[in-house]
């Protein structure tokens, strides 16, 4: 390939949604040259092309990207159109180098041009030392294969194509899937006068609607939990992550009582097949409907990435957005990249790199380095944060009081990184004080040894800070 025909950049960001624009802000702030490629004709169209009544599930005070507030009331829930306009204004405000109408066809290693990557988008080719993929989670609408066997007279729409009840044929409507969009659309079409049925089992619900008075009071707590507790650093977060990636979530705005009052008929059985051209539930019940709205979610679509970085489940093989198998490649905006908020608007403005109590929350901006040596050093920092090894740092040091008879924390490392402690098993068995051997001179206070150690979160109950 002729190198002169390649448009070169230090970093290329693919996708100008909230995650891609937040990454662009951090890159610009650090003086790193970059370009953002967006497939839509205008920034924000991905939000404008959703159903007309769409409201975000978080208020405007939590939806703003770095250094540019949303021009709405703090407790107002933006519409999809308002969010699209905000993203477009964000690009203009920060003068981010976004190229619209550029749909990427492939991403591959640039072995013929040296290090880095080649990106093809129609007749255009881009070269980049590093690439951030921020195409989002909602890529390929999923519809069951048996949908093709339904009677052609039945009007079928996926939630990605639904805009308003005016698109529906006269008659009953079956909404398949009881997650956020499923409950919202079932409520809307029932309110428009259509006999409405909703199939599938929900994933629970909040005890209050997110936009109720109680919900507004609880938002700071919910945000804290989503940011800090539902993460890959906690057992509950690691348990929740695969479920979130499979799709589905609790009812947040429209809940069971709202659906019942609207006259929506609920069926917990899934829509699993077709009988005589009509949708059939898993319990054998056949429904006579004129419309079917598939709220069956989306699937990841990374077939255009010609690199061995996609796992069997269809998601990138990464750790907090960093792909070890392909240095210089990063992902943003996918479900549970680090926390429950990773794919949400409220997660896009999360601080770049935070380390608290041995935890690192990564965003691409601070990690990107133009010099290969710097990049390798920062990747090594990430690996240390991952837990492959944990050298003691100033922020993570704690003074642990070793109490008689209680032994030492199970997570004390003795590989030469951090404190070196040795357990006196004989002393512990007889209730005596254990002997502590520290790499540096320790201090004694009374009858207790005060040592600096590297404490794992799961065993901190053995110590007092």
**Of the listed ranges 83-87, 194-198, 439-443, the one predicted with least confidence:** 439-443
Q: Cα–Cα distance between 130 and 124 in angstroms, integer?
A: 18
pLDDT tens readout for residues 392-423: 343 343 443 434 434 433 333 333 333 333 33
What is the mean predicted confidence (pLDDT) over 439-444?
36
pLDDT at residue 155 tops 70: yes
**Of the listed ranges 76-85, 209-218, 356-365, the one predicted with least confidence:** 356-365
What is the mean predicted confidence (pLDDT) over 241-250?
80
Q: Which of 202-216, 281-295, 353-367 has the highest mean pLDDT?
A: 281-295
pLDDT tens readout for residues 121-141: 999 999 999 999 999 877 889
For 90, the enclosing helix (H) or strand (E) is helix 80-94
* pLDDT value of position 163: 96
* pLDDT value of position 342: 86
Q: Cα–Cα distance between 361 and 228 in angstroms, integer?
A: 10
Q: What six digits make up the tokens of 412?
A: 């004390």
Query: For the chain, what is the total number of helices (H) and then of strands (E)?
Result: 11, 21
* pLDDT value of position 23: 94
Q: Cα–Cα distance between 47 and 44 in angstroms, integer?
A: 6
Say if residues 34 and 151 touch (Cβ distance below 8 Å).
Answer: no
Kindly report the pTM of this predicted structure: 0.75
| DSSP labels, 138-198 | --EE---GGGGGS-TTSEEEETTT---GGGSPSS-EEEE--SHHHHHHHHHHHHTT--EEE
* pLDDT value of position 347: 84
pLDDT at residue 445 tops 70: no
CB-side neighbour CA atoms (13 Å) of 13: 32
* pLDDT value of position 348: 82
Closest CA to 321 of 22, 9, 6, 121: 22
What is the mean predicted confidence (pLDDT) over 58-73?
93
* pLDDT value of position 354: 32
Rg of the Cα trace of the chain?
A: 26
Q: Go through the domains of the chain in sequence order and give each one's CATH number.
A: 3-139+300-386 (3.50.50.60), 141-205+250-297 (3.50.50.60), 398-462 (no CATH)
* pLDDT value of position 209: 92
* pLDDT value of position 439: 38
Which of the pair, 442 or 221, is modelled with greater confidence?
221
pLDDT at residue 190 tops 90: yes
For 450, the enclosing helix (H) or strand (E) is strand 448-453
Q: DSSP label at 405? A: T
């Amino acid at each position: 390939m002729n190198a002169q025909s390649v448009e070169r950049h230090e970093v290329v960001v693919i996708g100008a949604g909230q995650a891609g624009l937040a990454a662009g802000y951090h890159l610009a702030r650090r003086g790193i040259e970059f370009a953002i490629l967006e497939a839509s004709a205008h920034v924000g169209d991905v939000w404008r092309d959703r159903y007309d009544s769409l409201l975000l599930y978080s208020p405007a005070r939590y939806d703003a990207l770095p250094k540019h507030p949303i021009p709405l009331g703090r407790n107002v829930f933006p519409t999809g159109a308002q969010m699209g306009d905000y993203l477009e204004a964000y690009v203009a405000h920060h003068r981010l180098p976004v190229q619209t109408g550029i749909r990427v066809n492939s991403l591959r290693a640039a072995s013929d041009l040296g290090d880095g990557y080649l990106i093809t988008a129609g007749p255009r080719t881009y070269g980049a030392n590093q690439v951030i993929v921020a195409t989002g989670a909602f890529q390929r609408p999923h519809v069951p294969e048996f949908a093709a066997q339904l009677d052609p007279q039945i009007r079928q729409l996926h939630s990605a194509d639904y805009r308003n009840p005016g698109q529906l044929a006269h008659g009953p409507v079956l909404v398949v899937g009881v997650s956020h969009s499923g409950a919202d659309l079932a409520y809307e079409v029932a309110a428009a006068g259509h006999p409405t049925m909703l199939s599938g089992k929900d994933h629970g619900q909040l005890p209050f609607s997110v936009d109720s008075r109680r919900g507004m009071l609880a938002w700071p707590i919910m945000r804290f939990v989503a940011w800090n507790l539902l993460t890959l650093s906690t057992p509950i977060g690691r348990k929740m992550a695969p479920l979130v990636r499979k799709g589905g979530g609790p009812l947040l705005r429209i809940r069971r009582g709202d659906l019942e009052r609207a006259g929506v008929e609920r069926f917990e059985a899934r829509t699993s097949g077709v009988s005589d051209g009509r949708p059939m539930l898993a319990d054998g019940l056949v429904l006579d409907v004129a419309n079917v709205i598939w709220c069956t979610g989306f699937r990841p679509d990374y077939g255009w990435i010609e690199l061995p970085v996609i796992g069997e489940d269809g998601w990138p093989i990464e750790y907090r957005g960093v792909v070890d198998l392909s240095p210089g490649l990063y992902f943003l905006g996918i479900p549970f990249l680090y926390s429950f908020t990773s794919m949400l608007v409220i997660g896009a403005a999360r601080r770049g790199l935070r380390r608290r109590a041995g935890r690192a929350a990564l965003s691409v901006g601070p990690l990107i380095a133009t010099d290969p040596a710097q990049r390798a050093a920062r990747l090594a920092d990430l690996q240390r944060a991952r837990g492959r090894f944990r050298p003691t740092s100033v922020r993570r040091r704690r003074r642990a009081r070793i109490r008689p008879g209680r032994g030492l924390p199970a997570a004390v490392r003795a590989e030469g990184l951090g404190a070196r402690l040795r357990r006196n098993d004989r002393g512990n068995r007889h209730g005596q004080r254990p002997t502590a051997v520290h790499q540096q001179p320790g201090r004694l206070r009374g009858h207790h040894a005060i040592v600096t150690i590297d404490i794992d979160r799961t065993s901190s109950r053995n110590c007092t800070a």
